[in-house]
Chain A
Amino acid sequence: MEYKEIIAQLKAIPSVEVEERYPDETYILTAPDNFRQACELVNKKAHTPVAMFFARDKRGTGQGFGLYCVFMSTHQFKKWLIVSADIGPVDPRFDSLAKTIYSASLFEREIKEMFGIEPSGNPDLRSLRLHEESWPRGFYPLRKDFKAPDPGIKTEGEYLFTRGEGEGLFEVPVGPVHAGVIGPGHFRFSVAGEPIINLEIRLGFTHRGVEKIFEGKTVEEAVKLSERVSGDSAFGHSLAFCRAIEKISGLVVPDRGLYIRAIFLEMERMYNHVSDIGGIALDVGFGAPANLAAMIKESLQQLNRKLSSSRFLKGVNTCAGVSQNLDGEKTGFLRNELAKITADLKLLNDMLFESASFMDRVDGTGVLRKNTAFDLGISGLAARACGISLDLRKDFCGVYPGVKAKVSREYGGDVLSRLKLRIFEFNESADLIKGYLDNLPRGNIRKDHIQHKTGFGLGYAEAWRGPVLYWVCLDEQARIERCKIVDPSFQNWQGLAFGVLGDIIPDFPVCNKSFDLSYSGADL
């Protein structure tokens, strides 16, 4: 449906106001009673799942709690549609969206545990990060008047897992401490022999209270913090955050800064994709390509350090530009190294595809269906592997001037599709970097004279896993009043839980690696 039609239908709902706050961001303010209706309308007519859904404590200004539900529309028009409502401060509750829009479920659980706002009618309100075993009930961290509980307060309650029961069915718990060198998370399998009947993933073991730590920080401090939300997406996160600030304060990044940002974003994509390709080979026991991939990743990280003094591209993004310039010597070096690295990747690709036993392991394993992925709100590479073609570099391409990204998709939804897509995106990133280098404009890399404004807005970037979203609100002192972060891992873990159904437990590591999701990005 066209933009104007959706807006007209929304305005037909009583007491709705539409504010086109930014060219790519439209706010739809509703009364609390009509909030659900408005969200369902956008979800259906713009054919898009919930991208982000969060609350905000505005009781200090007498506005109660604010609810914001963000939809990304890309089919017939490219805009972010944000439905919002203010609910009263006493006994705060709202009509749950989860029964009609499944992609809102996890967000509602988060709102409940962080703010104590009740999503009436949501059948699953178990803890997400503040686990019943280690956090007493009744303490809501993101409220402005929150005080941390004393260590002595008793915890109560139990997290009940979905169980399959029957003859020959077993429950296999794995984690939070895993056998390999990897982050903590709990996986509860219900198996009948080897095939997996159900998988429930319980995360939250890397929760550090990031959103609360953001509050009160200056913009410069916050950029550094955003790089540490998920270490391997340091650049993607800091880029999304900087974009939010630049939008709010109306800061224009000079063209050279934009191009350098685009180059580094692709460099982050490349080193992570090759790391996953190696990981997939390793998890099926194919050592030679796993080690070659590890060497390619190492060359890319050393290249990162050469260009930016950081193997993870930390410290590059800054408000209204970048802090590292790419002068003639660096660009020449980058081109040469890229040529070598892409040749190595071709060798890696051939190594993998010439092995029949490897192909047998990855073909048809871990299939995630397109409809399931859509309902769950899966985004990024995992979605593209199921045939859902969404990529912020293509859909919101105004921010990538001059050079167009080619976006591919696969239709199998299996490990092989995700592998092929990673190889494609790696090569495409190398081509994009060459294109950006060829067209690199002269001039400043950062805007001078930065003045911050009060306000709020949404910043976004297509990081290597998928779209990273930062909704930021700045107060009068240009400090962070609220920062809501959504890493694509938050929703995509559910994709893994559905993807492994029917496969055998020994295939779980390769499926997990083919998604390669962030524990810390999901847990914040």
Chain B
Amino acid sequence: MINIIKARFKKGIAARDIKAGVLPGGSGSCGAELKEMIIKKFGRSLHIRQVDTGSCGACVSEIVACSNPVYDIQRFGINFVASPRHADCLLVTGPVPRNMAKALKSVYDAMPEPKFVITLGDCALDGGVFKDSYYASGPASAIVPVALHIPGCPPDPETIIKSLLGFLSVTS
């Protein structure tokens, strides 16, 4: 207990100030209707279900880092949930090998409306360095409709949060 209190005072408030970022060009095709709905409904609270479809682990590590005290994604109302039934948004990483295609589709289908999909990392866009693999079953956008893409190999947590906030059109 004493060490927990010690650490609390030693570290202080670690959270970094993050503002919504300008989305990089070509980062996603999102119709006006969907965008309006997203801003109206999810601007203050977004529940994300993350599904890894064959990534090398770096993108997943950076997503996990978004929840650490330095980036603290929860203060923006964004949470990661355990079940697609609780989710508003599906976050996909990885180039989708053949044996994950069905799982990805099932997770998307299990989510209740309204919902949308975000792909994260170069692999999720078009397969990245694994584009020509014999085991790729098309990028995520061939299986589920993608509203936003966050590029990078991997994108760092600040980029991830800025892109999400920019997409939700939230200024913090």
B-binding residues in A (CB < 8 A): 129-131, 133-135, 141, 146, 148, 176-177, 179-184, 204-210, 212-213, 224-225, 228-232, 234, 275, 288-289, 291-292, 294-295, 297-298, 301, 311-312, 314, 347-348, 350-351, 354, 518-521, 523
9 cross-chain CB contacts under 8 A? A134-B101, A146-B134, A177-B107, A184-B52, A184-B100, A209-B135, A232-B57, A354-B1, A354-B3
- Distance from B7 Cβ to chain A, minimum over Cβ atoms (Å): 5
Which residues in B have their C-beta under 8 angstroms from that of A180?
80, 82
A-binding residues in B (CB < 8 A): 1-4, 6-8, 10-11, 14, 50-65, 67-71, 80, 82-83, 94-95, 97-103, 107, 128-130, 132-136, 153-154, 156
With beta carbons under 8 angstroms apart, the residue of B10, B54, B80, B136 that contacts A184 is B54
Contacting pair A301 B59 (CB below 8 A): no
Query: Which residue in chain A gives the minimum CB-CB distance to B83?
Result: A179
Query: Which residue in chain A gives the minimum CB-CB distance to B64?
Result: A181
Contacting pair B69 A294 (CB below 8 A): yes
Contacting pair A347 B6 (CB below 8 A): yes
Which residues in A have their C-beta under 8 angstroms from that of B136?
208-209
Which residues in A have their C-beta under 8 angstroms from that of B58?
228, 231-232, 234, 312
Contacting pair A520 B153 (CB below 8 A): no
Contacting pair A347 B3 (CB below 8 A): yes
- Distance from B170 Cβ to chain A, minimum over Cβ atoms (Å): 22
With beta carbons under 8 angstroms apart, the residue of A129, A176, A312, A351 that contacts B3 is A351
Which residues in A have their C-beta under 8 angstroms from that of B83?
179
With beta carbons under 8 angstroms apart, the residue of B2, B3, B130 that contacts A209 is B130
The distance in angstroms between the C-alpha atoms of A518 and B63, with both chains bound, is 16
- Distance from B156 Cβ to chain A, minimum over Cβ atoms (Å): 6
Which of B69, B97, B154 has the largest number of chain A CB atoms within 10 A? B97
Query: Which residue in chain A gives the minimum CB-CB distance to B57?
Result: A231
- Distance from B122 Cβ to chain A, minimum over Cβ atoms (Å): 9
Contacting pair A351 B55 (CB below 8 A): no
Contacting pair B10 A347 (CB below 8 A): yes
Contacting pair A134 B98 (CB below 8 A): yes
With beta carbons under 8 angstroms apart, the residue of B54, B68, B82, B101 that contacts A298 is B68
The distance in angstroms between the C-alpha atoms of A231 and B121, with both chains bound, is 12
